[in-house]
Amino acid sequence: MIRVFILIGFTYLFIHLHASGDISKYINMKYAYISEFAIYILLIFTLISIYFYQKGETSHSHCHDEHCDHDHSHEINRWWKRWATYLIFLFPIVSGLFFPIATLDSNIVEKKGFNFPVFDDNDPYSRHQFLQPDTSVYYGEEGYEDLMDSSLKKLLKKPEITLNEDNYLSDLETVYNYSGDFIGRDMSITGFSYKTSELANNQLFLFRFGIIHCIADSGVYGMLVEFPDDLKVKNDEWLKVSGKLETIYYQPFKKTIPIIKVTSWQTISQPKDPYVYRTY
């Protein structure tokens, strides 16, 4: 019977995540149809399990009527393994339904350490993504070049680069790969603030946590921005800034990276969905 409850629990969990919209905190909504399909599969399995449970109860009752002789020692010796398995399956149900969903913020950046392996030429296998989106791992070399060339042509036609929920990761990746082609262009970006001791008083990073496929490959992406004057901004304050796109050699990364020289900015509330997702 516990197996039936576990299947019911998983079915309800997926329905709850979709109904509440919290499923977007775990996966790129491009793949939402997969979890929706899983709801139907789990529902079918649940009904099948209920059928076999009822059938098993009938057989068990008949067996007692016939004074069947069961060997219970095997089940007694393995009861703890069975319950351990049940607990493993119950944990994601309980945590998904009753634990609050934490929004990723600058604390995650702080705990992981402020380093950006994507800029580390000495480690070609490093896939911990920060600051700069990099989807090259999901394509062949030629396919990735074609994707970036296509994105560059589309972005160059726009009078102003505005990063929003629909194009944040894709356009940001293009800007990083071809930053020299966008020098002097107007650009707008929204994100939460993050400062380090290496930055000048009028500089900070604006980040958003992005999901490429699911939460397992999520990263923190954004840009360095520079204000005309010193600015006292705490970490995790949400800002919307506009300015001119330039490049700067940033010593901690030992790389030239794009930077926005801010001409206007405003403090905003955290978006309803603070995450952004990779679109193709």
Domain final residue, candidates 76, 98, 120: 98
Query: If you average pLDDT over each of 24-28, 36-40, 264-268, which comes out highest?
Result: 264-268
- Same structural domain, 68 and 160: no
Q: Are 187 and 160 in contact (CB under 8 A)?
A: yes
pLDDT of 111 reads 55
Domain residues for the domain of 81 are 2-98
- Same structural domain, 18 and 91: yes
- Same structural domain, 244 and 110: yes
Whether the predicted pLDDT of 196 surpasses 90: no
From residue 110, give the alpha-carbon distance in Å to each of 169, 172, 193, 220, 275: 22, 22, 12, 11, 18
Mean pLDDT of 86-111: 70
- Same structural domain, 126 and 88: no
**DSSP assignment letter at 99:** S
Q: Distance between CA 16 and CA 12 in Å, rounded?
A: 6
Q: What is the pLDDT of residues 59-69, one digit of tens each?
A: 555 555 555 55
Q: Distance between CA 203 and CA 223 in Å, rounded?
A: 11
- Mean pLDDT, rounded, of the chain: 81
pLDDT-derived band at 123 (thresholds 50, 70, 90) equals very low
Domain final residue, candidates 98, 119, 134: 98
Question: Which structure tokens are listed for 55?
Answer: 């059938």
- Same structural domain, 87 and 136: no
pLDDT of 170 reads 93
pLDDT of 104 reads 57
- Count of domains for the chain: 2
181 against 26, higher pLDDT = 181
Mean pLDDT of 19-27: 75
Q: Are 258 and 176 in contact (CB under 8 A)?
A: yes
Whether the predicted pLDDT of 176 surpasses 90: yes
Q: Distance between CA 87 and CA 126 in Å, rounded?
A: 34
pLDDT of 3 reads 79
pLDDT-derived band at 255 (thresholds 50, 70, 90) equals confident
Whether the predicted pLDDT of 217 surpasses 80: no
Mean pLDDT of 61-89: 63
pLDDT of 126 reads 42
- Same structural domain, 154 and 195: yes
The share of the chain scoring above pLDDT 70, in percent, equals 79
- Same structural domain, 222 and 111: yes
Domain final residue, candidates 52, 74, 98: 98
